[in-house]
Amino acid sequence: MLSVGQLLDAGLSRAFIKSQVDQGNWQRLYRGVYATFSGEPPRQAQLWAAVLAAGPEAVLSHESAAEVAGLADKPQRIIHVTIAAERRVARIPGLDITRSARVREAVHPARLPPQTRVEETVLDLAAAAATLDDAIGWVTRALGRTLATQADLRAAMAPRQRMRWRGELTELLSPDAEGMHSVLEVRYHRDVERPHGLPAGSRQAQFRVGSRKAFRDRFYQEYLTVVELDGRATHTIDRRWDDIRRENATSAGGILTLRYGWLEVTKQPCQVAAEVTLALATRGFTGARPCSPGCPVAQAARTAQAARTAQAARTAQAARTAQAARTAQAARTAQAARTAPGHTGRARRGDRAPGQCA
């Protein structure tokens, strides 16, 4: 894939270039950009052609940079490139061209075709997202796929003082939020755990199922309780059996598992918090609080307190009953000993055995 400038620099003439195209040996993909082969250009060639068509210092960015970095799973029909802010480029069919004052700082130093660094790509996509959830999705996907670190993203965001969603993403990238690998995990932390005073469960806690590693979305280790968050509408059969094996292994260890999906966490976070409160309370947790006057966590906390009070009363009654039973048993044992054959009782004063001297 070559530009007309590169071909001319190599000593070829415009007439030769035209003849190759006319004979079908080469093909013109964009104005001034040629594929030196026939047939359907592979995806890599299409991306290179787009960069060459956009001119000097152009780089793949946004969804196209995400595609080559492994951040996006499907290629987009429109190829997105970014050029320097001072350049002007006429509209090119099939390309979405952005101008940026930071393109030289954002470009990856080694990858080809030229492309923005992963952390820059993530923030470009987050800033352009239609919703906060979409913005968070790009960040958590990069973190979950280990394509970028929180430190990388914080550093890349530092010069973007007016970036959209900056406050929310800064919170997401704080050390307190480390280990959250999906939008649903972020929502659970933000809308369920934190406002209701629930303990901070371990995130992506690793354990083993046979010889395989597995991870728990939230593990409240002190209370032997796990919360699994399922953000997918459907599962493959393999994924479903993975979930079953993981939950079976958890149950075998005496651990209680609660599972919630997208609708529960996003539409009924207080109800989820109330259920988690009750589960944790049965194992000793007492710190839950309602987020508002009508929050069901208040009732859950009262129910849990009533259950603890009733359990304490039952325990105390059981202790009293056990003590009474032990006392009664001791009395029966003593009575049986007194009435046993051969028992003479305690000798009275003045009684003497036969032959004993006075």
Whether 298 maps to a domain, the answer reads yes
Q: Tokens in use for 292?
A: 């508002």
Give whole-number Cα distances, 142 to 125, 193, 262, 354, in Å.
11, 24, 20, 103
Q: How many domains does the chain have?
A: 2
pLDDT digits (tens, 9 = 90+) for 83-98: 999 999 899 999 999 9
**Which pairs count as long-range contacts for 238-247, CB under 8 Å and 24+ apart, including other chains?**
242/214, 245/209, 245/214, 246/209, 246/214, 246/216
Residue 187, domain member (yes or no):
yes
Check residue 241 and give its pLDDT: 39
pLDDT at 129: 93
Question: What local confidence, expressed as pLDDT, does residue 115 receive?
Answer: 97
Is residue 126 in some structural domain?
no
Residue 332 lies in a domain: no
Q: What is the pTM of this model?
A: 0.63
User: ∠ at Cα 153 (177, 77), nearest 5°?
Assistant: 110
Residue 247 and residue 225 in contact, taking contact as beta carbons nearer than 8 Å: no
The radius of gyration of the chain's CA atoms, rounded to the nearest angstrom, is 36
Pairing state between β 2-3 and 33-35:
antiparallel
CB neighbours (10 Å) of residue 104?
10
According to the model, what pLDDT value does residue 349 have? 54
Cα–Cα distance for residue pair 358/348, rounded to 1 Å: 15
Residue 8 in domain: yes
Q: How far is CA 273 from CA 189, 233, 276, 287, 297, in A?
A: 11, 22, 5, 12, 6
Domain that holds residue 35: 1-41
| Residue 82, domain member (yes or no) | no
Helix (H, G, I), strand (E, B), or coil: what is residue 148? coil
Flag whether 311 is in a domain: yes
Q: In what order do the strands lie in the sheet with 212-220?
A: 202-209, 212-220, 225-230, 256-261
Residue 120 lies in a domain: no
Contact 337, 343 (CB under 8 A): yes
Q: Tell me, what's the pLDDT at 295?
A: 94
Residue numbers of the chain with a pLDDT score lower than 70: 175-181, 205-215, 231-253, 342-358
